[in-house]
Structure formats: C-alpha cells, structure tokens
Amino acid sequence: MVVANQKGGVGKTTTAVNVAAALALYGARVLLIDLDPQGNASTALGVDHQAGVPSMYEVLVRGTAIADVIQPATGFASLFCAPATIDLSGAEVELVAFVAREQRLRRAIEEHLARADLQGEQRYDYVLIDCPPSLGLLTVNALAAGVEVFIPIQCEYYALEGVSQLVRIVELVKTQLNPILVVTTVLLTMYDARTRLSSQVADEVRTHFGPAVLATAIPRSVRISEAPSYSQTVMTYDPSSSGALSYLEAAREIAHASARLSSPGTPSSGQKETS
C-alpha cells in the first residue's frame, strides 16, 4: 500500500506508522518502507536512520538489497522498517540518469520477496510505503511498485483540491507504468466532531471516493502528536488513547478489505504482498 498525499501536514507519515503498528499488533507481519528523506517514519518506529546508516538511498541508487537495510521496529515482534536517511534527498537528482528510473523500487521489492521465498522466510502480510509530501520521482517509484494507494486526508478546507492532483498522477502511472494500481483506501485525519467544517469535509470526501473511505476517522489528539518525540507510535506511547483506538479500528477495516481483495477474482496474495 502506497501511503501518499503531496500536501504536507495531513498526517500521512503518522498514519503510515500507526496503521503499520496496529496491523502488527493484530499479528500481521508488516514492512514499512520509508521513502521520505525527513525519515520521520523511521524515527517513530525507533529505527536508526542517521547519515551513513544503510537506507533506501542505497537500495534505489546503488542497488543494495532491501534485506540489507531492513531493521526491526522497537517494541514490535513483527514490524520491520527500511529506513530513510537525509541522503535520500539527493536521490531524485541522481535517479534521473538511470534507465527505467521509475521502476527501481518495484524491482527491489520483487527481488526481496523472491529471495525470501527461496530462503523459506516468512513473507510479509503488508508492505506499506511512506512517500514524501511531493509528487516527484520517489513518489512515482512508490506508485509504480504498489498495488493499492492509501490516501490520508485532513479534515480541513481545500482538502479535496489537494488530492485531485495526486489522483491524476495515479491515473497517469496506472496508464504508463502500473496497470493494477488503484486507490482503495482513504482515511480522514485530524477530525474534530465539534466543528461543522470537519463534518462537511468528511461528507465531501465520502461523496467523492465512496466506499474507499474508511468508516473510522482519526481525531485530533495530543497523544498522536507527542508519540514521535519519544521515538514511538501512539500504539505503544498511549495504547488507551482515542488516537490509538482509532488507528486500531482503521487497521481492522483495512485488514477486512484486504481479505476481500484476496478472494477469487482479485489480485493474488503474491501481488498483495508487493503492494
């Protein structure tokens, strides 16, 4: 699942790490790939990502195997992270000179899963890719590698206008690079039930995206904001908070939708695991 929204401050990385953590708490084996040079997802999972640490930069630019950069997330038995370092900020420029530069991540993921199969390793139930807040080459690589697009949308004015450009890019990537790509999941974030604006935005989003919108909305929560400063997700920082419970419910919805997608006539489990 490609977690993307080119608009900053919508809770994209927060959603990626907390949904990944919630799925892991439900017993799933989860890999989160951090493609944001800021490395905030890596921070939240307690993964070392200082300059010089093997990261997604080496995977995309130097051809290093993903298995060589993956680290276990702190506090979870079945959650793993391929971190991002500041080096990744230069990858967009360096990738321009590569042939099939938009497919670098896809090939790396396919090789990683194939190698895991050959070695008899347990496969991932979910692979989530946290994109930078832009529609550059890193995000295109993620979209070319994915099966599903997961869009967090902040319950604020102009929310849908910011997403329209992303949807156009998704359609372009689907036409040119990845015909199985589809927007399957939309999550409302920073929802404030006390305001009419949040309700209006939620109604507009549900009208536009229909059943792709999860029934669960993530509320504004101080605990969610505080957790990364302790290198944690809200799942371990304050498991009983409204934010943690909401992300657990969102993850449950995603898991049920995934079960439906893997039924006969839909993408195979092998395709799902490269999403």
- Structurally, the chain folds into a number of domains equal to 1
Query: Could you tell me what percent of the chain has a pLDDT over 70?
Result: 94
Residue 239 reports pLDDT greater than 50: yes
Residue 96 reports pLDDT greater than 80: yes
The C-alpha atoms of residue 33 and residue 81 are separated, in whole angstroms, by: 6
| Closest residue by Cα to residue 185 from 148, 142, 131 | 148
Quote helix, strand, coil % in the chain, to nearest 5: 50, 15, 35
Using one digit for the tens of pLDDT, what is the confidence trace for 82-92?
999 999 988 88
The C-alpha atoms of residue 45 and residue 33 are separated, in whole angstroms, by: 11
Mean pLDDT of the chain: 90
Instruction: Supply the pLDDT for residue 123.
Output: 87
Residues 6+ apart with CB under 8 A from 171: none
Residues 6+ apart with CB under 8 A from 161: none
Residue 102 reports pLDDT greater than 60: yes
- The total of other beta-carbon atoms located within 10 Å of residue 32's CB is 31
**Orientation of helix 242-261 relative to helix 12-25, angle to 10°:** 70
Domain with residue 255: its CATH number is: 3.40.50.300
Q: Whole-prediction pTM value?
A: 0.91
Using one digit for the tens of pLDDT, what is the confidence trace for 195-206?
888 899 999 999
Instruction: Quote the Cα angle for 17-20-24, to 5°.
Output: 135
Domain that holds residue 145: 2-273
Would you place residue 161 in the very low, low, confident or very high pLDDT band (cuts 50, 70, 90)? confident
**E strand intervals along the chain:** 2-3, 30-34, 71-72, 79-82, 126-130, 148-154, 182-191, 213-219
Higher pLDDT, 113 or 23: 23
